Amino acid sequence: MSKPLVSELSVGDRVAAPFVVTDISLAPFRSKPGSYTARMWDNAEQAAAALLPGQVAMVAGHVEEYQGEPQVIVRAIRPCRPDEYDPADFVASSQRNPEEMLAQLQANIAEVSNPHLHKLLEAVFGDEELLARFTTAPGAKTLHHAYRGGLMEHTLNVVELVKKASELHPQLDRDLLITAGLLHDVGKIYELEGEVSYDYSDAGRFLGHVVLTDRLLTGKIAQLPDFPQHLANSLTHTVLSHHGQREWGAPVLPATPEACALHYADNLDARVQGFQQVIDRERDQPGHWSRYHPYFERSIFVGPAEADSDDSK
């Protein structure tokens, strides 16, 4: 079979394709939703030692039924080579076109007329390795924009919101807001790791993306001669305070109009998209409301949209 989806596998099918390893155990375990249990009887210890959760493995075997559930009986399994799979085949991706988002990113950089901020943006996003990670990274592990390309999508949304804020409130420093919007979450490329499943890196767990972003920006600013100290302080303050509250991970609270605007733009985009992820994930469950989500401290209405109009008759 060529690139089979788990949902398409049937008893009797032969399998020779890459799959993501989610769990490894030398004892029985049950499959998670959207996955198959794969069992290997011969040389299992050697195979398990060569694999890691989150890795893509080349699997050869066939599908059988066991206790009413399908499972893959593995004849051979090994880690995939990079040229044997496309990471985009295994993870959800932004619905927006990656090339169009990259063009929008470059257009936003071009809008910044302050020469110091413009040079800083070019120094950050002119780093090809950094840019490659930025354009494919998720916006979060689970809460919002938790998919390939989610970080760039979220970043561009935040920039559009702060640009609108600067139109409504022309006293705001538009160049500073665009720059802070583009850079506020760039540390997430070091906070999260993985190509086909995402988890926190050691640096992410120790420091978090706010600190990682600040370290990156401080290092880049230090390489730019004559970067004004007050401008550096204003920018780093705006970025450091974008979570808005200390209990949400902000080392400092917003103390300027620009920092306030960035915080609310970031929170608006993250919350709206986070709600939508819940709706998309739980839309097919019984009832009109999601389960209770501790992070949001509520259940979320998932539809159908006709419910209110029907009830009002």
116-165 per-position pLDDT tens digit: 999 999 999 999 999 999 998 887 777 777 788 899 999 999 999 999 99
31 — pLDDT class (breaks 50, 70, 90): very low
Strand segments, DSSP code E, in 168-221 are: 192-193, 199-200
Q: What pLDDT band is residue 27 in, cutting at 50, 70 and 90?
A: very low
Q: Does domain 88-276 have CATH number 1.10.150?
A: no
pLDDT at 308 over 60: no
| pLDDT value, residue 212 | 94
What are the extents of the domains in the chain?
6-85, 88-276
pLDDT of residue 235: 98
pLDDT band at 29 (very low <50, low <70, confident <90, very high): very low
Q: Where are the beta strands (DSSP E) in 163-259?
A: 192-193, 199-200
Identify the pLDDT of residue 307: 47
Q: What is the pTM of this model?
A: 0.73
CATH 3.30.70.330 for domain 6-85, yes or no, is no
Question: Which position has the token pair 């705001």?
Answer: 172
Handedness of CA 92, 95, 97, 98 (dihedral sign): negative
What values do phi and psi take at 76, rounded to 5? -150, 145
Per-residue confidence (pLDDT) for residue 312, from 0 to 100: 47
Planar angle of CA 235, 148, 199, nearest 5 degrees: 80
User: Of 99-103, 233-237, 247-251, 298-302, where does mean pLDDT reach its minimum?
Assistant: 247-251
- Which of 102-111, 169-178, 217-226, 274-283 has the lowest average pLDDT? 274-283
Span 233-271, pLDDT tens digits: 999 999 999 998 888 888 999 999 999 999 999 999 989
Grade residue 32 by pLDDT with cuts at 50, 70 and 90: very low
Residue type, 177: L
Taking residues 223-242, what's their average pLDDT?
Answer: 96
Residue 33 has pLDDT above 80, yes or no: no
Strand-pair category, 69-79 with 199-200: unpaired
Q: Quote the pLDDT of residue 187.
A: 93
- CB contact set of 166 (below 8 Å; sequence gap of 6+): 172, 173, 174, 177, 261
